[in-house]
Amino acid sequence: MTGRKTTIHLEDDADRWRWVCPRGHRTWEPTNYHFWCAKCARQWSQDDEFSPEFDELRDKRSGETKTREEIRLVTPAGPYEHREGSA
Ligand SMILES: [Zn+2]
């Protein structure tokens, strides 16, 4: 691992506007190893090939995608990833 991660502040409006789910929604939330999108979940049906769970967020500014592992999530209380497990 090179250790250079993209930081996203979960409560920051600018970050929330910039980072979207693969289908362009801003209603995603992090899970332990993935992301989950409320709007995708609402639209999802079993015939759909996509899943409301995904592991890449899209940067609207550059069009690039970043995987969960390349992203460091920060909440007002501190880094999201250390909330669980043995840190
Ligand atoms: Zn979505």
Ligand 1 mean position, distance from CA 46 (Å): 16
* 51 in Cβ contact with 41 (< 8 Å): no
pTM of the model as a whole: 0.82
Cα–ligand 1 centroid distance for 27 (angstroms): 6
How confident is the prediction along the chain (87 residues), in pLDDT tens digits per residue? Answer: 566 899 999 999 999 999 999 999 999 999 888 999 999 999 988 888 888 999 999 999 999 999 999 999 999 999 986 555 544
54 close to 29: Cβ distance less than 8 angstroms: no
- Residue 72 pLDDT: 93
Q: How far is the CA of 54 from the centre of ligand 1 (A)?
A: 9
Would you call 82 helix, strand, or coil by DSSP? Answer: helix
CB environment 40-67: b (16+ within 10 A), e (fewer)? beeeeeeeeeeebbbbbbbeeeeeeebe
